[in-house]
Amino acid sequence: MKLPFFHNPAKASDGREGGASDNPGLPLMGGQIVPGVTDTTRPDETRDESFLTPEPEADARGAPAAQRVPAVTAASGTAGPTKIMARDVSVFYGEKQALYDVSLDIPDKTVTALIGPSGCGKSTFLRTMNRMNDTIQGCRVTGRIEMDGNDINTKAIDPVLLRAQVGMVFQKPNPFPKTIYENVAYGPKIHGLTTNKTELDGVVEASLKRAGLWEEVADRLHSAGTGLSGGQQQRLVIARAIAVNPEVILMDEPCSALDPIATAKIEELIDELRERYCIVIVTHSMAQAARVSQRTAFFHMGRLVETGNTEEIFTNPRERRTLDYITGRFG
Ligand SMILES: Nc1ncnc2c1ncn2[C@@H]1O[C@H](COP(=O)(O)OP(=O)(O)O)[C@@H](O)[C@H]1O
Ligand SMILES: [Mg+2]
């Protein structure tokens, strides 16, 4: 059974909830503003710069005149159509702006890596996709985020259901202080996805299998989830996310607390999961981004600098800043 993330689809065109400003008439192909783009690009004669069109005037927010790079659509080398579309997304913590006009298309059945130096806004952007920023006091999101063409910031969207559909895995594994079984069964129970114990047992088993953990825990389902190793706990919370039939799984540095062997297991799992889900992973490891993702988006100082197929980003980036970051010159 699929969770309906609309309360009431008839109300889908209603206004937004507090926090996210309405932005009528937003051009869906709105571009990504990259100030100073000409200064920072490499002087490479063979590069095609025809995608750069001059922007003669300052933008509505008073940003300096900049050149626009079209948001990437119809990503080549990816398995699915656009699942999540971000347009001109800005995020503020109180007075402080953390994200500036980010426009990005995230394809389905693909792993998209978000990379960039600490504090550049990767986690902030990740949280816009399941409205986790709503839970942070003083945090304000503007711009538009669509999932399957539906604005996720309208009143018609129940954030709790949205977060089931757009699951999240954090840096530090965070199983509930409950048994392994209960960790996985919790979501299906509260969302009423199963009607009896046999069905629920089936969902728990299938989710643990899909998360690659079943064989290690089948004989101790009723012992504490927190008793597992770090890597197992991370697979347990992935199983917990999977149990409510998500469509998107967001991962915020899911391996940074794990040893290399546990990391390899999670990376293998991510590769399997992409057959079914849209996956977005924040990582500070270039090697990991190169290993697990098909698309990469590079953020710097709250702006999306460049996005493209992972191989291209790592072998032939367009922007000087991307090159400098991936070659370890800063970050
Ligand atoms: N809850 C918060 N309150 C205030 N500022 C925040 C909060 N979370 C993040 N920030 C700020 O927003 C910017 C982006 O942070 P973040 O998205 O966590 O970056 P990253 O994940 O790339 O390291 C940073 O300057 C950070 O200090
Ligand atoms: Mg972060």
Q: Whose CA is nearest to atom 6 of ligand 1?
A: 93
Check pLDDT > 50 for residue 225.
yes
Please state, in angstroms and rounded to a whole number, the distance separating the CA atoms of residues 258 and 238.
15
Nearest CA to ligand 1 atom 24: 119
Give the C-alpha distances (Å, rounded to integers) separating 47 from 5, 98, 197.
Answer: 43, 31, 60
Model confidence at 36: pLDDT above 80: no
- From ligand 2's centre to the CA of 208, what distance in Å? 27
Q: What mean pLDDT do residues 299-314 have?
A: 98
To the question of domain 9-326 being in CATH 3.30.300.30, the answer is no
Per the prediction, the chain carries an average pLDDT of 83
**Across residues 68-93, what is the average pLDDT?**
74
Distance of CA 304 from the midpoint of ligand 2 (Å): 15
What's the pLDDT at 158? 96
pLDDT tens figures, 128-141:
999 999 999 999 99
**Distances from the Cα of 135 to the Cα of 77, 160, 238, 276, 313, angstroms:** 35, 11, 21, 28, 33
Q: Counting atoms of ligand 1 from 1, which one is nearest the CA of 114?
A: 22
pTM beyond cutoff 0.85: no
Per-residue pLDDT for 52 more than 90? no
Look at residue 223 in the predicted model and tell me its pLDDT: 98
Domain boundaries, the chain: 9-326
Q: Taking the CA atoms of 153, 155, 157 and 161 in sequence, report the sign of the dihedral they define.
A: positive
DSSP H stretches of helix in 87-173? 122-128, 159-165
Determine the pLDDT at residue 133.
Answer: 95
Count the helix, strand and coil residues of the chain and give each as a percent rounded to the nearest 5.
Answer: 30, 25, 45
- Three-state DSSP class for residue 41: strand
Average pLDDT over residues 24-46: 30
Cβ neighbours of 148 (radius 10 Å): 15
Residue 78 pLDDT class (50, 70, 90 cuts): low
Residue 29: per-residue pLDDT? 27
With a cut of 70, say whether residue 61 has pLDDT above it. no
Atom of ligand 1 nearest to the CA of 96: 5
Q: What is the largest CA-CA distance in the chain?
A: 66
**Cα 137 to ligand 1 centre (Å):** 13
Per-residue pLDDT band for 169 (boundaries 50, 70, 90) equals very high
Counting from 1 in the atom list of ligand 1, the atom nearest the Cα of 125 is 17
C-alpha 134 to ligand 2 mean position (Å): 17
* Residue 331: predicted pLDDT: 76
Instruction: Give the number of the atom of ligand 1 that is nearest the alpha carbon of residue 116.
Output: 22
> ∠ CA(53), CA(128), CA(267), 5° rounding?
95
Residue 3: band (very low, low, confident or very high) from pLDDT cuts 50, 70, 90 = low
The Cα 119–Cα 98 span in angstroms is: 8
Model confidence band, residue 4 (pLDDT cutoffs 50, 70, 90) = low
> Which among 312, 273, 306, 299 is positioned nearest to 111, based on CA atoms?
273
Confidence at residue 1, expressed as pLDDT on a 0 to 100 scale: 53
With bands split at pLDDT 50, 70 and 90, how would you rate the model's confidence at 77?
low
Q: Report residue 219 as tokens.
A: 């004989």
Listed residues: CB within 5 A of ion ligand 2: 123
pLDDT of residue 17: 40
Q: Is residue 38's pLDDT more than 90?
A: no
Question: What are the pocket residues of ligand 1 if the criterion is a CB atom closer than 6 Å to any ligand atom?
Answer: 93, 98, 116, 118-124, 136
Ligand nearest to the CA of 100: 1
Rounded Cα distance between 193 and 198, Å, is: 12
**pLDDT given at position 93:** 98
State the CB neighbour count (10 A cutoff) for residue 313. Answer: 26
CB–CB of 247/277 below 8 Å? yes
Q: Which of 96, 125, 284 to mutate to test the pocket of ligand 1 (most atoms within 8 A of CB)?
A: 96
Task: Say yes or no to pLDDT of 189 above 70.
Answer: yes
Distance set, CA 307 to CA 114, 242, 251 (Å): 9, 27, 18
